[in-house]
Chains A and B, each alone.
Chain A
Amino acid sequence: MGRRRKKQKTTASTVDSKNENLEDFNANDQKTVDISTSDNEKGVIPTSENRELSSRENSPVSALSMRGKMDVAAFSDFDVEDDSEGIGRITDNEGKLEFQEELNENAYESQTRKKSEKSETLDSFVVSRFNPSSSNVVCYGRKDDKFDLCLIAMKHGESISFQGGVLVASIFGDSVIMGYRLRGVSSESSSENCIQVDLDSSLKFYPVFSPKTHSLLVIESAEKQETICKISHSGIIACSTTKSIINKLLPTINLVREGYDTILALRDISWCGIQGIERVTSCFNNIFSGNLANYDKKDYEIKQSRCDFFNIKGFYPIFEAAPGITALKIPHSWENSTNQLVADTLDFNLPPISIISGHKNMGKSTFSRYLVNNLLNICPKVAYIESDVGQSEFTPCGLVSLNILSSPILGPPFTHLQQPYRSYFIGHNSPRDDPDYYLDCLRELITVYRRDIACGPEYGMYGDEQIRVPLIINTHGWSKGMGYDLYLDIIDFAKPTHIFQFYSTTIINQNLPPLPEYIISPTNQEPPKVSFVETINTSGPSNKYSASDRRLLTLFSYFYSTSATAVKQENVKWWAFDQPLIRQVPWCLDWRKGLTKGIFMLSGEVPLSQLLYALNGSIVGLIGDIDNSYTSEQVDKEMKESREQGSQIQIPNYFPCPDFSPPSPTEYTCLGLAIIRSIDPTSHTFHILTPLPSSALFKTNAIVKGTLELPVWLMLDHTKNSSLGVCGVQWKRAPYMSIEAGEGVGNAAQKIRRNIKRRGQKSNI
């Protein structure tokens, strides 16, 4: 009783101080600078001084990051299990400071009780440092043309943060988005007073996406940097009409008098169709549409008119802080580490290999994007190995992949999915069921990189010089137990030259233990450079959308992408959300001819007689040979063998694991994911929905099934508001769906919760 009262008092004070500190934390960068400068590259674990720092203040970050999975379970309908953490509870019963733990407990209680208060904290950084006026924003005025274009003139230090999507091209001066430097195509000549874009030069627009699900992106004007080499990346090439329109608008910007340093051209990208993703499920409403709904009614006109200056559909610059949105602010420690890597890339003989590691939700993916963009400033291509199966950057979940990037990454993963150079289907959201296979696949990816890509002649630059393609490896966020062992194994065979390890000053138990000696000072080679990277403040949108939400976004984006996505064709839809999957005409795959290898079942022990029950209406991976050396004679032989079985329905070859080994990474590559939407056993056909082009499909010779679950949203028709069923079929007759709440005990499928505590247990989350 008495203890309870005491708790409540502390809670109240915690809440107040929490708010103050949040403002401090945001505005004041000093702490981060101090910590990073105390690092040296040999790796310094957070000292006791740092530890004290965190416990002294009522660390807001710890309170906010400790939402755990409790809230998501209570407030979201989706699967709570976040597999990247692996088996077992986080038993952090090792002696922690007692009052740190009580502090956490209080903060946790207060946080769960006052969830709404968290979302009301405003991030002052999200406001654009830019005053739009008729002198610095010039729009192309023809409304009937449906061609939105505007020119923006900025000075150093100005920045625009925005929500939505836009195409950006740099006309004059330098600007930086997410670490990628856009260089102006035209330069000011002293003789002329105004700038013109050369109609013969290539002007490229880059798509930038900034939805509410992640921190909003910021377009900054930057100091001009002299470059040695001019590197071009693929983007949308502007046609001559666009260029001439720009040239017409340019004279209206008085460059010299106003002292502008950067001029950018913006065009709308709303034709790509990504906004359609908001309608697939209601929880992603308005992630791209502007935040105008949140403004007070009386200020509405003022805000509206500021956006109107730009007149670009789908582009909503932020001029006022609003709850729930934050902008991406790159901490100094990130800049320092990245600059070091860039310098090393230019110096080294061989391209550097970097590994990014740390607990989940620390900002590893964001940092990796930042790193890639910075490297793209000096290299035409960057290689990226994704080893986080649950939250991949360029592919849907369940795959490990090696990607070659030749254009900047300006947006969250679901806006830039691309076909990898090589990938393997792991089939789960975490490698915990078959870590050996996972490591085999990763080993093979790294071998392929070393052999084919690192200094491959086909990636040769202009001239005789061989191009070096640096590699970035993103690891999973599973930092304890088996996950940590996997991490050490990856370092062992990747032999990175740079290791970026994330740490948090506030949640100590999430930090990785110090790297073992054999990594820090290996006997026969250069030791890797280890830098410690501070985690960014993770309050804000990344807390509202969990990892499973992001997986959903990626799956939606993957299955609804069109053939235009790969080539980035202009003015053609890249995502076709208007036609729900259940209405799409599927491919028919005759498994007698098409699956010459067979069907792999990665987990569980589904007996062959029940195989079709497991496959109907599920997500599978399509795999094919790496080299197309599978000759037709072999095909005929295999088909003959199966025919001799003499059964009425010819069965494909079946390989359940672990009785059989999973598809070998040296022989097979994963072509992509597909949904088996229905099966017709009498005609031996699988009906398949997949975004892959037919050239890839014809290479398929096997199907792999893991445990990836098909989200219910993909089984519904989101364009129709039917409450009765789907496609004219009532819910009762639609397979795999039930509207009944479900009676009886044990009706729910197993949900895993790892944050439960016992009274009197000393533990931290």
Chain B
Amino acid sequence: MIKIPRIVPWTSPEEFQQVRQWLYAESPNLREIGVKRVKAWSSRGKVPHAIVSTAAFVEASLRDDFRYGKITNHELRLLYSMVFIRFVNGMVDPVQQGTFALSIASIAVKLNMPLWFVEMRHAGTHEHLPSLQILRNGCRQALQWLNENYWLSQKPLHSTQIGKIRSLILQYKELRKEDINGTNNRDPSRKVVGKIMELVSEEYISESIIPILLEPGFLVPMSKKKRALAQDLSLSPESKKIWSVMLQVFDKEWSTFGNELILGILEVINTDGDDIKSDLNNQEIQTAPQTSSSYLITLAAWIKHIIYTHYNGKSFTNLDVNNILEFCLRKPNTNTQLILQMMMEYDEELKTSVRSFVNYIDKKLHSEDVIHNIEDIPKITEEDMNAEIIKLQFELDKANKLMMDPSNSSSVISENDNTLSSNEESAWKMYARDEWKACALGCLPDGQVPCLDLPLELDGPSTVIPSNM
């Protein structure tokens, strides 16, 4: 099932938290930066109303604190009132879903908003303009209310929380051990799982839960005796019993859990393995510290178990097999090869399409073991080249899989235009095709959003805070 994300104006959750810190900072300069950033966000659209209101309150209070520009009390009252009115209206309006309008007071109760905000708004709209004292008071309280009801409820990830999660998972493990040995009572362990889920939202699984699970002592038992065997990659039954309950609950709750887990494991496994390409050039094999082979084997065994349950339909039905496949094909080494083989066992279709490629990697892997000098580099035979072609064809076919008509017409995608005079003087150039990698919109090809800050001095002197502050 494809989830469509919603659009937000920030580039990352870190930027979001950063702006929150700015808006609630002590220093007025930082608050001003926060206000400026929210203005940039506003031109993108789709800014949550709570953020717009917070920035408006902060801006009004800055103007009030410093009175820069000699603003009169009356003007300040108008300013504050307007912010208040828009704040309350913006909170209340989305709740008006029915045909007829509900009273604003009733909606405020639903939203847990102090009723006197509504009175203030009413006064500002219809009656005498409220006094400056009460407006200042209201502004302060509104900022606090917004902090509690919006900003803090975004479930950010504090380091303390990770500690809590770890202790909860340990608690779960102990309880499960008791269950297996003693009374088969699953309730306490399920409750603990429930508590874990309350602390973490789906977006943060791969930062919080998965790294903990991959530490030695969790999915991979501490004692080497209990770890998986290399021959058949089978997990000890005890491991399976301990963890399957939690894994299944997580899988049901978060559809991306299975994929995140496997990708997390793959990343750990592959820091040890190397790409074939780099092998031919340098002969150093980098080993990641603290990863003994039994640890890695156990992790691989877990993948095998998960894939097994996926193909049997028992659980982990949301596994995105294509994604895993793509990952393995991009990083061919012993471990991913193992996984490919595992997947091939279960999926016939996969077997036929991937077999030649797997053979190719096999060959490469074995040949690299004996490279000592250049003369020993195996010559690439025609068969190998064919296999390479098959691999490329496979990639091409994957990309074409969903195309409706493989018609004999070719697509003319501005090929002619691109080669038009891009001399050195021209400001327009196509991005070099061999350096280009597909990436999310907003990111550079390396997958990162660059630092988009421009120097603050460009804005000129502040219009809100006098320069002697």
20 residue pairs A–B, Cβ–Cβ below 8 Å: A562-B412, A563-B414, A572-B409, A578-B411, A585-B430, A604-B43, A607-B459, A695-B417, A697-B428, A710-B7, A710-B441, A723-B1, A724-B259, A724-B263, A732-B203, A733-B447, A735-B11, A735-B449, A740-B203, A756-B101
Other-chain contact of B3, A590, A610, A649, A723 (Cβ < 8 Å) = A723
Closest to A718 in B: B402
**B-chain residues with CB within 8 Å of residue A648 when the two chains form the complex:** 455
Question: Given A589-B427, A682-B450, A748 and B48 touching (CB < 8 A)?
Answer: yes
0/1 string, B355-396, CB within 8 A of A gives 1: 000000000000000000000000000000000000000000
**A-chain residues with CB within 8 Å of residue B400 when the two chains form the complex:** 578
Are B204 and A732 closer than 8 Å at their CB atoms?
Answer: yes
Find residues 380-438 in chain B having any chain A CB closer than 8 Å to their own CB.
Answer: 399-400, 402-405, 407-414, 416-418, 420, 425-431, 433, 436, 438
Are B402 and A736 closer than 8 Å at their CB atoms?
Answer: no
Are A613 and B452 closer than 8 Å at their CB atoms?
Answer: yes
0/1 string, B84-112, CB within 8 A of A gives 1: 00000011011011011100000000011
Are A723 and B256 closer than 8 Å at their CB atoms?
Answer: yes
**A-chain residues with CB within 8 Å of residue B207 when the two chains form the complex:** 732
From residue A607, how far is it (CB to closest CB) to chain B in Å?
5
CA gap between A586 and B149 in the complex, in Å: 42
Highest count of chain A CB atoms <10 Å: which of B43, B152, B154, B413:
B43
CA gap between A712 and B399 in the complex, in Å: 21
Q: Size range of the interface on A?
A: 35 or more
**A-chain residues with CB within 8 Å of residue B418 when the two chains form the complex:** 694
Are B99 and A109 closer than 8 Å at their CB atoms?
Answer: yes
From residue B259, how far is it (CB to closest CB) to chain A in Å?
5
Tell yes or no: A564 within 8 A of B by CB. Answer: yes
Other-chain contact of B37, A591, A613, A744 (Cβ < 8 Å) = A613
Are A610 and B428 closer than 8 Å at their CB atoms?
Answer: no
CA gap between A728 and B52 in the complex, in Å: 32
From residue A145, how far is it (CB to closest CB) to chain B in Å?
10
Are A749 and B91 closer than 8 Å at their CB atoms?
Answer: no
From residue B57, how far is it (CB to closest CB) to chain A in Å?
12
Question: Given A587-B429, A712-B6, A651 and B458 touching (CB < 8 A)?
Answer: yes
Other-chain contact of A742, B48, B427, B439 (Cβ < 8 Å) = B48
Given A722-B320, A735-B449, 13 more pairs with CB closer than 8 A: A74-B97, A582-B439, A588-B428, A588-B431, A609-B456, A609-B459, A680-B450, A724-B256, A736-B441, A742-B48, A749-B47, A750-B93, A758-B100
**B-chain residues with CB within 8 Å of residue A695 when the two chains form the complex:** 417, 420
Interface size on B, residues (CB 8 A): 110
Are B405 and A270 closer than 8 Å at their CB atoms?
Answer: yes
* A-B contacts, CB under 8 A, total: 336
Find residues 1-52 in chain B having any chain A CB closer than 8 Å to their own CB.
Answer: 1-13, 36-37, 39-50, 52
**A-chain residues with CB within 8 Å of residue B407 when the two chains form the complex:** 146, 270-271
CA gap between A662 and B206 in the complex, in Å: 47
Are A572 and B411 closer than 8 Å at their CB atoms?
Answer: yes
Other-chain contact of B5, A591, A682, A731, A757 (Cβ < 8 Å) = A731
**A-chain residues with CB within 8 Å of residue B10 when the two chains form the complex:** 735-736
Tell yes or no: A716 within 8 A of B by CB. Answer: yes
CA gap between A715 and B323 in the complex, in Å: 19
CA gap between A196 and B289 in the complex, in Å: 83
Are B411 and A744 closer than 8 Å at their CB atoms?
Answer: no
**A-chain residues with CB within 8 Å of residue B4 when the two chains form the complex:** 77, 712, 716
Are B459 and A608 closer than 8 Å at their CB atoms?
Answer: yes
Binds B, one of A272-280, A331-339, A374-382: A272-280
Binds B, one of A256-264, A357-365, A486-494, A614-622: A614-622
Are B146 and A723 closer than 8 Å at their CB atoms?
Answer: no
Question: Given A608-B459, A610-B37, A750 and B202 touching (CB < 8 A)?
Answer: no
**B-chain residues with CB within 8 Å of residue A100 when the two chains form the complex:** none
